[in-house]
Amino acid sequence: MSPERYARIQQVLSQRQHDLTLLMEEVHKPHNVSAIIRTADAVGIHQVHAVWAENPALRKGTALGSQIWVKNKHHSNTAVAVAYLKNQGMQVLVTHLDDSSIDFREVDYTKPTAIIMGQEKSGATAEAVALADQSIVVPMVGMVQSLNVSVAAATVLYEAQRQRSEAGMYGESQIPDDEKNAILFEGGFPVLYQECQRRSLPIPRIDNNGCIDAPASWWQALQYS
């Protein structure tokens, strides 16, 4: 890994937000999933969540490709997903228009926050709305009644990014050292990472120069296993 790439990955990881995330509830179009994850990466989200009970292809990650920078956690259903997020101490928001909805800009996103984005055609399920702490909307004054799900996600996430940036929440890494090391290895040495996965070898340490710091036994196992 070049010094430039090592520095770039370290810079990205230093700004990752462990307590800001999205839950995609049956978002099923691959281009929307990809666009949402791209935006999540852009605002520093470390992990997104998804419920894909009816789409095994997406559940296996084929539509996501090789997601090094934004991890994905699949949940079997919405109730399980929301319970997991609330157990992480997050306020759970859902994009949905109802009598209790508030403008998405009225939310304090400096708090640990998860945002539920519903399915493209039908939106968030009644279960998601009932389980969420608050419904939010993006105000619209045109003829159409909703935004594309990836556009809505980007709109809300950049408000969260704005608030968090003003609060000085970017720049200090929230990622545990062992997880950061694994990301550095995967992002800096993708071919060797795949070999380690295939051969069930441990992830080696990456030193402060972006080089692999592993004993001779590891290199021998990589070569001969």
Annotated binding-site positions: 95, 138, 147
Q: In this predicted structure, what is the pLDDT of residue 117?
A: 93
Name the average pLDDT for the chain: 87
The pLDDT of residue 155 is above 90: yes
More confident residue, 41 or 172: 41
**Does 43 or 140 have the greater pLDDT score?**
43
pLDDT category of residue 57 using cuts at 50, 70 and 90: low
Identity of the residue numbered 128: A
User: Quick check: 68 pLDDT over 60?
Assistant: yes
Q: Where are the beta strands (DSSP E) in the chain?
A: 20-25, 47-51, 71-75, 91-95, 102-103, 113-117, 134-137, 205-206, 212-213
Mean pLDDT of 88-117: 94
Please tell me the least confidently modeled range out of 53-67, 68-82, 105-119, 129-143. Answer: 53-67
* Long-range Cβ pairs for the range 68-73 (8 Å, 24+): 68/183, 68/186, 68/187, 68/190, 69/12, 69/41, 69/183, 69/187, 70/37, 70/40, 70/41, 70/45, 70/46, 71/46, 71/47, 72/37, 72/47, 72/48, 73/47, 73/48, 73/49
Binding-site residue ranges for S-adenosyl-L-methionine: 95, 138, 147
**pLDDT at position 124, please?**
84
Helix (H, G, I), strand (E, B) or coil at 58: helix
Between residues 70 and 121, which one has the greater pLDDT? 70
In order of start, what are the domains of the chain with their CATH numbers?
Answer: 17-166 (3.40.1280.10), 177-224 (no CATH)
C-alpha–C-alpha distance, residues 70 and 222, integer Å: 27
Looking at residue 63, its pLDDT comes to 44
Which DSSP symbol is given to 202? P
Share of the chain above pLDDT 90, in %: 52
pLDDT of residue 64 exceeding 70, the answer is no
Give the pLDDT mean for 184-207: 91
Question: What pLDDT sits at residue 225?
Answer: 53
> Which band of pLDDT confidence, cut at 50, 70 and 90, is reported for residue 141?
confident
Phi-psi region of 17 (alpha: psi -120 to 50; beta: other; left: phi over 0): beta
Which residue is it, tokens 């556009």? 151
The residue among 9 and 110 whose pLDDT is bigger is: 110
| Res. 58: pLDDT tops 80 | no
- Whether residue 62 is predicted with pLDDT greater than 50 in this model: the reply is no
